[in-house]
């Protein structure tokens, strides 16, 4: 029987906002603690945030801004909130960011619309103003357990923070939304039909279609740059013990994301197939700008589930290459639209603490 995996709480950071405001960070030159030996694809790496947990930073379509989620109890941000910041134009420029959601509940998975003036995100604020409680993991053998808060819904807002429309209204968890390159489709995760599956919403008619139907968690999906394919993370419980545990947790709005693999399909959900067979947790996949490769996060090299590093593979799961060399946590990679830069979250250079920060680097092919 596998030993419980030791997974940091930042694996699936959830977000919510407390108040509007602009914050500034102090830049510093790269050191060995910011860039490690053999990270040959990174150049001019710089740390954008300092303090708290900062993750899931995604680019605007023009590559000028990023939207991300963060929390920092020292600043009164007790559960994750959504922020927008302008990407520094040159190395050493300060990174300025401001909060852009309600400040109530918990939020997650924000994403720009093509116009750069609107974004989507998941939020629990209709359920309560406060942060929803974390699960008591001692009841589940201290495994890493992720809550599927049933108060999560997906909202459309403008960049001033004003909510324009509630996009999901079904009972139960709706979150993890991203958009197609033309902004016409939203892919997201929902439990509306009794399992944790992927759905696609037409952003004009708001009609929804379910595109996964296999027992297990399906989430964190992305469209390819040409909009023809999708990539996502999925668990596939197979033994009776695994299936029973999965169903038991799901009844309590919980999931244990300790064994996931990367899957690829056509954008309509056809031709679904697994491309990683690495065991443990393989997640946060995303396409390279040419659409021919997948970058993702994994702990498969480590018996006890830690560290996490980023890996690159082709769209068929061949030619695996290790990208980051941190001994801690590197995840949520995303390339700029032109493919010249990459942004990711890491706990490198945090003085030995547990904080997760954003890092920006030039991408060297």
User: What CATH number has the domain bearing residue 41?
Assistant: 2.120.10.30
How much is the pLDDT for 1? 33
Tokens of 92: 């050493």
> Mean pLDDT for the chain?
90
Within a domain: residue 235?
A: yes
* Residue 281 CA: distances (Å) to CA of 65, 143, 258, 259: 30, 13, 5, 5
Phi-psi region of 143 (alpha: psi -120 to 50; beta: other; left: phi over 0): beta
The reported pTM is 0.90
How much is the pLDDT for 352? 77
Mean pLDDT of 59-87: 97
Within a domain: residue 314?
A: yes
Mean pLDDT of 251-277: 96
Q: How many CB atoms lie within 10 A of CB 287?
A: 22
Within a domain: residue 9?
A: no
Q: Residue 10 pLDDT > 90, yes or no?
A: no
Within a domain: residue 5?
A: no
Q: Residue 132 pLDDT > 80, yes or no?
A: yes
Instruction: Provide the b/e sequence for 293-325 (b: ≥16 CB within 10 Å).
Output: bbbbbbbbeeeebbbbbbbbbebebeeeeebbb
How much is the pLDDT for 11? 37
Q: How confident is the model at residue 28 (pLDDT cuts 50, 70, 90)?
A: very low
Q: How far apart are CA 14 and CA 12, in angstroms?
A: 6
Q: Residue 7 pLDDT > 80, yes or no?
A: no
Q: Residue 31 pLDDT > 60, yes or no?
A: no
Tokens of 119: 């974004």
Within a domain: residue 84?
A: yes
Within a domain: residue 47?
A: yes
How much is the pLDDT for 144? 87
Q: Report the domain count for the chain.
A: 1
Q: What percent of the chain has pLDDT over 90?
A: 85
Q: Residue 102 pLDDT > 50, yes or no?
A: yes
Contact 113, 154 (CB under 8 A): no
Q: How confident is the model at residue 9 (pLDDT cuts 50, 70, 90)?
A: very low
Within a domain: residue 15?
A: no
How much is the pLDDT for 303? 82
How much is the pLDDT for 143? 86
Within a domain: residue 127?
A: yes
Q: Look up the domain containing 26 and give its range.
A: 22-363
């Amino acid at each position: 029987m596998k030993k419980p995996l030791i997974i940091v709480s930042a694996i699936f950071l959830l977000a919510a906002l407390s108040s509007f405001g602009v914050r500034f960070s102090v830049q510093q030159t790269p050191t060995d603690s910011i860039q490690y030996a053999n990270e040959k694809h990174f150049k001019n790496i710089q740390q954008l945030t300092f303090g708290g947990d900062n993750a899931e930073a995604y680019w605007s379509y023009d590559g000028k801004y990023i939207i991300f989620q963060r929390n920092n109890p020292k600043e009164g941000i007790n559960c994750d909130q959504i922020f927008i910041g302008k990407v520094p134009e040159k190395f050493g420029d300060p990174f300025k960011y401001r909060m852009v959601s309600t400040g109530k509940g918990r939020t997650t998975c924000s994403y720009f619309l093509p116009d750069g003036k609107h974004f989507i995100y998941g939020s629990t604020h209709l359920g309560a103003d406060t942060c929803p409680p974390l699960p008591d993991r001692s009841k589940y053998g201290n495994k890493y357990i992720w809550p599927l808060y049933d108060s999560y819904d997906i909202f459309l807002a403008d960049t001033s923070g004003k909510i324009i429309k509630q996009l999901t209204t079904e009972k139960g968890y709706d979150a993890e939304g991203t958009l197609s390159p033309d902004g016409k489709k939203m892919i997201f995760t929902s439990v509306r039909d009794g399992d944790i599956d992927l759905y696609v919403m037409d952003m004009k008619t708001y009609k929804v279609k379910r595109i996964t139907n296999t027992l297990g968690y399906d989430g964190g999906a992305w469209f390819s740059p040409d909009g023809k394919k999708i990539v996502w993370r999925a668990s596939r419980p197979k033994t009776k013990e695994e299936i029973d545990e999965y169903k038991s947790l799901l009844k309590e709005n919980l999931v244990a994301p300790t064994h996931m693999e990367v899957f690829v399909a056509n954008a309509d959900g056809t031709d679904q197939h697994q491309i990683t067979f690495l065991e443990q947790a393989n997640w946060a996949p995303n396409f390279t700008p040419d659409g021919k490769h997948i970058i993702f996060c994994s702990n498969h090299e480590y018996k006890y589930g830690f560290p996490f590093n980023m890996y690159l593979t082709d769209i068929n799961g061949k030619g695996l290459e290790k990208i980051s060399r941190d001994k801690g946590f590197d995840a949520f990679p995303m390339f700029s639209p032109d493919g010249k830069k990459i942004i990711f979250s890491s706990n490198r250079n945090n003085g030995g603490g547990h904080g997760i920060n954003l890092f920006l680097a030039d991408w060297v092919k």
